């Protein structure tokens, strides 16, 4: 066990500067040990403070060997109290160095130097408490699609508050050198300016909230299409995929932003516009969906297409896993700080599971963390024991 202890010290070290919010009276369990147990338990399948405490009780012999626990295994009230009193912002900040290490390792492994960072919101639907006037937790997070890493989250009252939450999130995360993708809710002049000021690029979707801009983009593309874009320096890219009983054809068009575009001067860094069309054939039925975009990217339609396609990684790889594997939508945690801190634990442990090189599904990896202590430590520490 000595080798494990030395390696685990690195994990413990990430929390050294986190201030303990608990009263010093009757404080029996070190904060860091409580948090490391919580992470381990969530990796192994725990969905709340009670489940964390139950898992810890089952694993008492193991935990007492690898963590400082002078007064034994904490009870569920300890885990609940810690997660309730920790400020979510401070809790998340203490993961910054850990995320930097994971991100650097993922960049080296994938060879991706200009990652796509997808920004999107998600609601934990059953986390409301009508009797207390508490709405469901809605949070906006950043997902590094190629890396399989959740880099940060900010909670907000509801989806309409994403406009104010997104700039806060972009300041929390290191976005320099990346491409930020956001759906139409986040297509705001101030958000575009923040991205450019932070030395990143953007691909922003257009919908009704920017009706004038969207219509101007549509009109320009329609006008240029009359002579098949002969005068527009347009570039096109098409991909085809077959699977799950459907055939999908995705067509992308990118062109330089016209100097005559209405309101061009209000959008900092805007260089190109474009569209993506999805034609899906399933059970003999064909559906077509077209979306329009503005971007600070220069011409390069494959990069433009990759950014648009990668944006949905936050839905398919992150949100889907949180709902189907972590059962986040079914969570009944109502305490504001507990549910927000737990949402971050879910996202961070999902990132750790995705960094593990094994080919098993996230479901099987979580089960493996519950079944095998060495596998749990491998996932937690990102190494092979």
Q: What is the mean pLDDT of the chain?
A: 89
The stretch 219-233 carries a mean pLDDT of 91
pLDDT of residue 303: 97
DSSP β-bridge partners for residue 121 = 140
- CA dist 332 and 330 (Å) reads 6
Count of structural domains, the chain: 2
- CA dist 38 and 125 (Å) reads 23
Lowest-confidence pick of 37-51, 126-140, 172-186, 344-358 = 126-140
Q: Are residues 107 and 31 in the same domain?
A: no
Backbone angles phi, psi at 333, to 5 degrees: -70, 125
Q: Are residues 237 and 150 in the same domain?
A: yes
Dump the DSSP string for 177-218: T-EEEE-GGG--HHHHHHHHHTT-EEEEEE-GGGHHHHHHHH
Instruction: Retrieve residue 15's tokens.
Output: 């929390």
Q: Are residues 72 and 216 in the same domain?
A: no
Dump the DSSP string for 41-90: HHHTT--SHHHHHHHHHHTHHHHHHHS--TT-SPPHHHHHHHHHHS-HHH
DSSP β-bridge partners for residue 282 = 246, 285
Q: Is the pLDDT of residue 126 over 60?
A: no
Q: Are residues 40 and 181 in the same domain?
A: no
> Is 330 domain-assigned?
no
Q: At which of 286, 320, 354 does a domain end?
A: 320
Q: Are residues 235 and 296 in the same domain?
A: yes
Q: Are residues 172 and 259 in the same domain?
A: yes
Q: Supply the CATH number for residue 129's domain.
A: 3.90.350
> Is 327 domain-assigned?
no
Q: Are residues 194 and 237 in the same domain?
A: yes
> What is the value of pTM for the model shown?
0.89
Question: How far is CA 159 from its chain centroid?
Answer: 16
What residues make up the domain containing 370? 2-86+335-381
Q: At which of 271, 289, 320 does a domain end?
A: 320
């Amino acid at each position: 066990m000595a080798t494990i202890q030395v390696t685990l010290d690195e994990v413990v070290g990430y929390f050294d500067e986190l201030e303990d919010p608990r009263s010093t009276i009757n404080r029996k369990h070190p904060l860091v040990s409580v948090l490391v147990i919580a992470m381990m338990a969530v990796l192994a399948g725990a969905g709340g403070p009670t489940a964390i405490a139950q898992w810890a009780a089952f694993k008492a012999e193991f935990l007492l060997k690898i963590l400082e626990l002078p007064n034994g295994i904490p009870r569920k009230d300890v885990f609940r109290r810690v997660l309730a009193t920790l400020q979510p912002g401070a809790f998340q900040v203490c993961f910054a160095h850990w995320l930097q290490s994971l991100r650097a390792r993922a960049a080296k492994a994938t060879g991706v130097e200009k990652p796509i960072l997808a920004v999107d919101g998600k609601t934990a639907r059953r986390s409301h408490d009508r009797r207390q006037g508490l709405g469901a937790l809605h949070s906006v997070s950043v997902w590094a699609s190629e890396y399989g890493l959740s880099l940060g989250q900010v909670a907000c009252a509801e989806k309409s508050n994403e406009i104010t939450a997104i700039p806060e999130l972009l300041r929390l995360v290191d976005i320099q050198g990346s491409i930020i993708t956001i759906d139409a809710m986040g297509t705001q002049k101030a958000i575009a300016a923040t991205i450019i000021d932070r030395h990143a690029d953007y691909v922003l979707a257009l919908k009704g909230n920017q009706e004038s801009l969207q219509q101007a983009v549509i009109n320009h593309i329609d006008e240029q299409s009359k002579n098949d874009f002969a005068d527009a320096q347009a570039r096109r890219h098409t991909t085809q995929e077959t699977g799950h009983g459907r055939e999908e054809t995705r067509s992308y068009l990118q062109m330089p932003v016209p100097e005559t575009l209405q309101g061009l001067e209000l959008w900092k860094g805007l260089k190109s516009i474009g569209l993506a069309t999805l034609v899906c054939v399933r059970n003999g039925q064909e559906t077509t969906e077209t979306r329009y975009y503005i971007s600070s990217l220069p011409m390069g339609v494959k990069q433009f297409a990759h950014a648009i396609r990668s944006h949905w990684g936050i839905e398919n790889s992150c949100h889907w896993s949180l709902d189907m594997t972590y059962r986040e939508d079914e969570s009944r945690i109502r305490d504001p700080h507990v549910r927000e801190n737990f949402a971050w634990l879910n996202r961070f442990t999902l990132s750790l599971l995705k960094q593990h090189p094994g080919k098993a599904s996230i479901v099987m990896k979580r089960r493996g963390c519950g079944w095998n202590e060495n596998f749990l430590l491998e996932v937690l520490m990102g190494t092979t024991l």
